[in-house]
Amino acid sequence: MPTKPSARILSFVDALPLEDGMRVLEIGCGPGVAAREVARRICTGFVLAIDRSPKAVALARDRSRPEIAAGRLAIRCVAAEHFELIDGEAPFDLAFAMRVGALDGRHPAAGRLALPRIRAALRSGGRLFIDTGDPLRELL
């Protein structure tokens, strides 16, 4: 059974500048709670949720079956510092991460590797948000 979003997740997602039809990348999706909420809000859009943990990815896939079946959500097992678009994959309009050490300063070496990978996956003008603000902060 899918987990309902916590107040913290809802506050963060509420602050994201989401629009119908966007392509969104979530970095460090865990069980997929935020990814499902974003997919619900962007209606005709698409969310790719990534996580380095095979266990988290399996849980997210299991809990996200309707969104995956509808083609609104995909989940991939990959660390942010190794992420890249696959051949033919369109870039993303927006990326976000909640409690991801490579992006919030806890693991700066991983962050130095991850940021260029994320930037390369964003379209020109694409934006990246993390949860170290009130409730989020944009990384340039």
What is the domain extent for residue 14? 7-139
CB 21 within 8 A of CB 43: yes
Which pLDDT does position 139 carry in this prediction?
87
Note the pTM of the prediction, 2 decimals: 0.94
- The stretch 21-37 carries a mean pLDDT of 97
Which pLDDT does position 1 carry in this prediction?
57
The pLDDT tens digits of the residues spanning 47-87 come to: 999 999 999 999 999 999 999 999 999 999 999 999 999 99
What CATH number should be reported for the domain holding residue 18?
A: 3.40.50.150
- Tokens representing 130 are 């993390």
Number of domains in the chain: 1
- Tokens representing 112 are 């130095």
The pLDDT tens digits of the residues spanning 85-129 come to: 999 999 999 999 998 988 888 899 999 999 999 999 999 999 999
Where would I find the H helices in 25-129? 33-41, 54-63, 65-69, 101-104, 108-121
Residue 72 makes CB contacts below 8 A (sequence gap 6+) with 39, 42, 45, 46, 47
